[in-house]
Structure 1
Amino acid sequence: MSDAPGGPEPPAPGAAGGPTRCGLVAVVGAPNAGKSTLVNALAGTKVTIVSPKPQTTRFRIRAVVMHGRSQVVLVDTPGIFKPRRRLDRAMVAAAWGGAQDADLSLFIVDARAGLTDEVRAIADRLKQGRRPVMLLLNKADLIDPPRLLPLAQELNGILPAAETFMVSALKGRGLDRVLDVLARSVPEGPFLFPEDDLSDLPQRMLAAEIVREQVLRQTHEEVPHHATVETESWQERKDGSARIDVTIYVGRATQKAILIGDGGAKVKEIGRRARQELETLLERRIHLFLNVKERSGWDEEGGRIRALGLDDVG
């Protein structure tokens, strides 16, 4: 019997209906395999930016997904590739760090691209780890079904997978089974995050990432991957709105000119679309102000890399 007024206290998580489960699932793969699209689809909302360009995700983002009595924490990692710049090395280190810290890894492969050298190298490294690995063939709707099974068999020959999924993250096909399997595969234990949390991404970083997504979508050639975005200030207003000042850094004057556009048209459009998306995500009015600065060699600066939420590995 409880001494608290109003009757007995509600049961703690796991007291009824069986124990709770909670675990980290690292989503790893080559650039442009569809990792961020998959994470957003499983989460049921946008927690990470998406672009058709490779190397969109630059740091680890955790998305919290509740499924029955399980909390599945998806860790969206940067695409794994051969690094050239200091930034590249930090991104690849973040990806492998996410895989090492997780309870299991979800290895996502673009079914259209098949078994590339990048995919083979990632499989070989995952095989060396001690964590269970599940294989997910994404974009399975875009190739002939007879090609899928041999690809799955070949990949399992290199890296035996605990489960193999064939899905379309973009169209949401096959994801119910993925979530069911993940929910029962994470270990028993208490939840790591409140049940209504969607992501551990701070709002200031979310604003910078939404702006960077528009840079990726609206510019071409060398600009997208030589730009970084930082939220300089966030001011709450009495009417419930917020003023956000964001700076876009690029490496060269030509990139700055492309980003600004004729008469400032390009940067205004980037700002307009980013503001609309932020207002939808945050459910409040946003006053967004963008500034573009040239900063040569920013992707070799430890301070800029740490500002992205990455560990500077030198």
Structure 2
Amino acid sequence: MFKSGFITIIGRPNVGKSTLLNYIMEEKLSIVSSKPQTTRNNIQTILTDKESQIIFVDTPGIHKPRHKLGEYMVNVATDALKEVDVVLFLTTPEGEFGKGDEYILNQLEAAKVPVFLVVNKIDENTQERVAKTLQIYAEKFKFAEIIPISAAKGKNVDKLMEIVKNYIPEGPMYYPEDMITDQQERFIVAETIREKALRLLSEEVPHGIGVDIITMKKKENGAYEINADMLCEKDSHKGIVIGKNGEMLKKITQYSRQDLETFLQCKVYLKIWVRVKKDWRDNNTVLRELGYK
């Protein structure tokens, strides 16, 4: 009996949703950063073995939106609750139960599918704090399963996947067995560049950064030639992104190229231009161009 199902991972920003997905897939398909609101689109990632095919949807964190891009991110996250087989609600022991958690759990009440409580980052917290978190959330919602994990270390992740397989129905193989994502290469390239900017830049800049792939061509020698625009909202941010004598932009380009060569399995020639588009996160035209509409 072959089983197949759709799983959505949901939770507040910065609880480790992308880290969990990356560990499961052993592929860096969803960008990981220490800063919240890193993921902006829901990335479908496909895990296939002899008995099953599980399609994961990694969603943006649910939060109170402050601009049109934020509204888009929240809509994507809540839409992902529809027509899935299991919801993994991810949280951590690091913060108190708050209005954000309550808002998400209210959304989950209408999901009408099994909801797992997955408490991440147990390796970074005491057993007492983890136990307290498990108790608090169990009192707030009737979860189908409660599983503490460390996505970064892989602790209990295999156990989580075994239990997930018990809940997905008998079904067909929706995607070819060697396919691991439905995202186009250009999208993953843009997300890789944005991740490097998130990791390297100061706190005031990252959320105002977008990446637009202008050209992506495969040359006769098999190498890729990629030209990208990095958008920022202020002239002062442009200076920070470029850095003194262009050093910051060189680092972003260098680290991006290294990851892209691993992903594309070939030589990559990458050029990034920094452009100012004031308030682009509230500009519907720009959001559409970047794939957020």
Q: Which TM class, normalised by the smaller chain length?
A: over 0.9
CA distance in 1, matches of 2:196, 2:164: 32
**Equivalenced residues, count:** 293
C-alpha distance 32-288 of structure 1, shift in aligned 2 (>3 A):
same
Distance 1:306 1:104, change over 3 A: farther
Match of 1:52, SS?
coil
What's the CA shift for 1:148?
2.3
Q: Deviations over 1:79-133 (max 9, x none)?
A: 1000010100000000011122322210000122242321222112212321221
2:245 paired residue number: 263
Secondary structure of the residue aligned to 2:88 is: strand
Superposition misfits of 4+ residues, deviation over 3 angstroms? none
**Structure 2 Cα separation of the partners of residues 114 and 178 of structure 1:** 24
Shift of residue 140, structure 1, vs aligned partner: 1.1
Q: Distance in 1 between matches of 2:129 and 2:199?
A: 31
Q: Which of 226, 230, 239 in structure 1 is aligned with 2:212?
A: 230
Distance 1:308 1:160, change over 3 A: farther
Q: Does 1:191 align with 2:166?
A: no
Q: Percent identity?
A: 33
Which residue of 2 is the match for residue 11 of structure 1?
A: none
Distance between the aligned counterparts of 1:193 and 1:111, measured in 2? Answer: 36
| Superposition TM-score, scaled by structure 2 size | 0.97
Contact 1:67–1:183 (CA under 8 A) maintained in structure 2: no
State the partner residue of 2:66: 84
Q: Report the equivalent of 1:214.
A: 196
Distance in 1 (CA, whole Å) between partners of 2:247 and 2:266 is 25
Structure 1, unpaired ranges of 5+: 1-18
The code of the aligned residue for 1:258 comes to I
**What RMSD over aligned residues (CA atoms) do the two structures have, in Å?**
1.2
**Cα distance between partner residues in 1 of 2:83 and 2:284:** 23
CA distance in structure 2 between the aligned counterparts of 1:64 and 1:57, rounded to whole angstroms: 18
Larger radius of gyration: 1
Corresponding residue number in structure 1 for 2:23: 41
Deviation at 1:297, TM superposition (A): 1.4
Q: What is the alpha-carbon distance in structure 1 between the residues aligned to residue 97 and residue 147 of structure 2? A: 16
SS of 2:97's partner is coil
Question: Matches of 1:126 and 1:140 in 2, distance apart?
Answer: 23
Residue deviations 1:181-238 (CA, integer Å, cap 9, x gap): 1122111111111111111121111111100001100101221000100111111100
> Is 1:310 equivalent to 2:287 in the alignment?
no
**Does the alignment pair 1:287 with 2:272?**
no
| Cα deviation, residue 67, structure 1 | 4.0
